[in-house]
Amino acid sequence: MCAAFALGFSTLAGKRPCNEDFCGAVTPDRAELENKGLLAAVADGVGSHSNAREASEYAVRGLLADYYATPDTWSVFHALDTVLQSLHRWLTAQNRAQRHAAGMATTLSALLLRGARYYYAHVGDTRIYLWRDGLLRRLTRDHVWDHPELRGVLSRAVGLEGPLAVDYGDGALEAGDRFLICSDGVWDGLGEQRLGALLASVDDPQEAADRMTRAALQAGSPDNCTALVVHAHAVPAGRLRDALLHASRLPLPARLRPGDGMDGIVVVRLLHESRVTLLYQARVEATGQPCVLKTLRQGSDEASAAALAHEEWLARRVVHPAFPQVIPAPGRSSLYYLMTWHDGATLGQWLRQGRHFSPGEAAQLGAALLRGVAALHRLSIVHRDIKPDNLHWGTDGRLRILDLGVAASDGQDFGEINNPGTPSYKAPELHEGGAASPASDLYACGVTLYELLTRKFPYGEIEPFQRPRFGDPVPPTRYRPDVPDWLEAVLLKAVAREPGARFETAEEFLLALERGEMGRWQTPRKRPLAERDPVRLLQALVALSLVLNVLLAYLLLAR
């Protein structure tokens, strides 16, 4: 058990022939506690059906195992809901496939303590309570039919036929908080007043859980009785950024010159310098391994240091051939991080050197780009700055996506070192103040491929601080007549003004490119003028009406 939390549980069958409740908890240490938190759950199998115990045990064990297997970049609710929906689908499938398992369902209440917040997920009539400052508060509501003749009949449970609706909630965690997760045998047998008194008077959570279940049975509870008690002795780091402070508080290195060394790393040359960051080509002295060193300029503020630490945290979790990989730097004395070095140049450099990309090359590079973007989106990370200058084409023939400095991960609110996005690659909704999303990343992919082919932008070049107006994108064949119809259709769909008209996922975009190269992409018909430009159509109709009226007046006067 970690120092911040203490936990105890008790489950008794009581007067029932078997115990259909199940409870469990995972109490990780160190990095996993910071990234994923402490998770505890209680389930009560629906006793009027067969295999109720199997359902409750499967739900708790599955949740505790699979939640910790979800990517660290997912938000808490995204991770919990993904796991719970999967468990629900499996149980309902078992109910349909096996007649003896019909009704295999369970209630479930789960509590997660991570950082300075608590989170919960709840289905059914198990309950979660919070005791704080002498007051007991129920966090969950029972999912039962509100009818005199249907008292206690569940309206929701994991495994019941139909969609699963889960109640989610969260709140600030305070030192001294005491949580109780219990089955209906406990809360119905004791009542909330006695539950609050036990939580307040017993300092050991294991003793409190034992007393609750025994007292519930002594009070005449006819059901299984399960209680799981968690005490929060202290509040860990409030956000992931707080957990990265040990890195962000390292001193910034002095500006480095070729031949300078630190921590066994020797600088070869300066690669890039922005308003805040510095990028060096370097090598590991002991092994000769080439690498890239990223750090901040002298004078950078605390927010930039925290953002660089977050960028490294994200980069470590994106393990995919389409991205440079982080190299461990165990002896760091300054704030920086290392990435693998790859010979080659960015697509932006190739364009500035006058390289012309054929439609086939653009399609192949686009497919490689979208495989990487798909991997990023599966981790719930939005890149926010896809453009040729952030796409490296190595001499090994592999395309790699660079710079996660402004990437946004699901459920995390981090600042960024630089302003996110480059105006000409930003989707129309971003210029209107909308939030970045996978759809805006895919728009930037479309603009990038359009530029590789035409050296132009579908809506023209957009300057910083300009408020652009988006009409219809210019067809790439206006600049490159050799672009095949299918590729033009794919690009115009990718850069459509409205997000709903674009590809929904990177995989769909990738499939369109692959099918097009194989000659299996059906070019959609051109949109009618009424759909493409209703204003122009209205103007044309007004003009035609005026001409007809003038002609009619002339004919009448000529009589």
Residues 181 and 36 in one domain: yes
Residues 178 and 147 in one domain: yes
Q: What is the pLDDT along the chain (559 residues), one digit of tens a residue?
A: 566 899 999 999 988 888 999 999 999 887 788 889 999 999 999 876 678 899 999 999 999 999 999 998 899 999 999 999 999 999 999 888 876 656 789 999 999 999 889 999 999 999 999 999 999 999 999 999 876 665 668 899 999 989 999 999 999 999 999 999 999 999 999 999 999 999 999 999 999 999 999 999 999 999 999 999 999 998 876 555 455 656 667 899 999 999 999 999 999 999 999 889 999 999 999 899 999 999 999 888 888 888 898 899 899 999 999 999 999 887 888 999 999 999 999 999 999 999 999 999 999 999 999 999 999 999 999 999 999 999 999 999 999 999 998 898 875 644 444 457 799 999 999 998 888 999 999 999 999 999 999 999 999 999 887 788 888 899 999 999 999 999 999 999 999 999 999 999 999 999 999 998 766 555 554 555 555 556 666 777 888 888 888 788 777 777 6
Residues contacting residue 80 through CB under 8 Å, at least 6 positions apart: 63, 67, 110, 112, 119, 121, 166, 168
Beta strands 265-273 and 261-262, pairing class: antiparallel
Same-domain pairing of 216 and 249: no
Contacts of 416 (CB under 8 A, 6+ apart): 307, 405, 406
Tally of domains within the chain: 4
Distance separating alpha carbons of residues 94 and 49, to the nearest angstrom: 13
Q: Which of 212, 238, 264 is the last residue of a domain?
A: 238
What's the domain range around 142? Answer: 5-238
* Shared domain check, 292 and 247: yes
| Final residue of a structural domain among 340, 355, 390 | 340
* Residues 10 and 158 grouped into a single domain: yes
Strands 106-114 and 336-340: unpaired
The pLDDT score that the predictor gives to residue 15 is 84
CA distances from 255 to 232, 300, 308 (A): 45, 12, 17
Looking at residue 160, the DSSP 8-state letter turns out to be S
- Give the CATH number for residue 366: 1.10.510.10
Q: Are residues 107 and 183 in the same domain?
A: yes
Kindly state whether residues 212 and 336 are assigned to the same domain.
no
Q: What are phi and psi of 144, to 5 degrees?
A: -130, 155
Q: Tell me, yes or no, whether 308 and 352 share the same domain.
A: no
Contact predicate 445/509, CB 8 Å: yes
Where helices occur in 219-282 by DSSP H, the ranges are 240-243, 245-248
CATH number of the domain to which 302 belongs? 3.30.200.20
Distance separating alpha carbons of residues 94 and 343, to the nearest angstrom: 53
Helix H or strand E encompassing 367: helix 359-378
Is-contact 279 293, C-beta < 8 A? Answer: yes
SS (H, E, C) 507-543: HHHHHHHHHHHCCCCCCCCCCCHHHHCHHHHHHHHHH
Quote the radius of gyration of the chain (alpha carbons, Å).
30
429 and 492, same domain (yes or no): yes
Supply the pLDDT for residue 513.
94
Name the residue with tokens 């190299």.
Answer: 327
Kindly state whether residues 284 and 358 are assigned to the same domain: no
Q: What's the CA gap between 174 and 233, in Å, rounded?
A: 9
- Bridge partners (DSSP) listed for residue 59: none
Same domain (yes/no): 262, 215: no
| Pair 375, 446 in one domain | yes
Among 238, 273, 298, the domain-final residue is 238
DSSP 489-509: HHHHHHT-SSGGGS-SSHHHH
DSSP 411-473: T-----SS-SS-GGGS-HHHHTTPPP-HHHHHHHHHHHHHHHHHSS-TT----TT------PP
All residues at 6 or more sequence positions from 372 whose CB lies less than 8 Å from its CB, including other chains? 320, 322, 323, 399, 400, 401
What whole-number distance in Å separates Cα of residue 367 and Cα of residue 507?
9
Torsion, Cα of 355, 357, 361, 362 (10° steps): 120
The pTM of this model reads: 0.81
Q: Tell me what pLDDT residue 249 has.
A: 77
Q: What is the CATH number of the domain that holds 54?
A: 3.60.40.10
